[in-house]
Amino acid sequence: MSEEPLHRLVIETRIGIVSENIGTPDFETIDGETVVMVSIGMGETHVTVLSDEARMGSRWTAAFGWSALTRIPIGPERVRPDPDELPRALKGHLKRYGTPLGTEGFLSQAQAILRAAISHILDRTIGSGSAYDRIVIAAPSWLHEAVSGCMDLRPHIWNEIQDL
């Protein structure tokens, strides 16, 4: 792998985004409010527009998920974490075979990758998002600190990350 920053790879590598028709998620909106839900999963990120009474308006799926963080090398041997090791790597407490691995900088690299990818996905799906009242980001609880670097991508992103 080249020595380019991983967040550049995310931007320069195309993230496929498709529009889809799927059932309505379980989320309440305020009367007349239009909400954009951004759900970050293992291999996909879903962007769903919910109108008042939580009726689905539009939905996109981006081929990007938190598993992309497994590309961040850790420790002096620059090994890549397995998906089940990511929560511990983000907290700086990763061991393999009882030996601690150096995770310095892992969180900041994860934040950069997530920020670049989510920014790109929002640009390609909802644009500035000015037509919507609120944008809500959802991710697994262990990923919240890494996703916190995305909270200023649009001025109306809700200040609480939802659990997936």
Per-residue pLDDT reduced to its tens digit, 115-128:
999 999 999 999 99
What does the pLDDT look like over 127-158, one tens digit per residue? Answer: 999 989 999 999 999 999 999 999 999 999 99
Model confidence over 48-78: pLDDT tens digits? 998 765 566 788 999 999 999 999 999 888 8
Do residues 132 and 156 touch, judged by C-beta distance below 8 A?
yes
- Write out pLDDT tens, residues 75-104: 888 889 999 999 999 998 888 888 888 888
Distance CA 142, CA 147 (A): 10
Rounded CA separation 97/46 (Å): 36
In this structure, the dihedral spanned by the alpha carbons of residues 116, 120, 122 and 123, taken in order and rounded to 10 degrees, is 130
Residues in contact with 20: Cβ distance below 8 Å, sequence separation at least 6, in sequence order:
59, 60, 61
pLDDT in tens, 1-18: 445 555 555 555 556 655
Q: pLDDT above 70 covers what percent of the chain?
A: 77
- Residue 164, C-beta contacts closer than 8 angstroms, at least 6 positions apart: 39, 40, 41, 138, 139, 140
In terms of DSSP H, where are the helices of 106-151? 106-125, 144-147
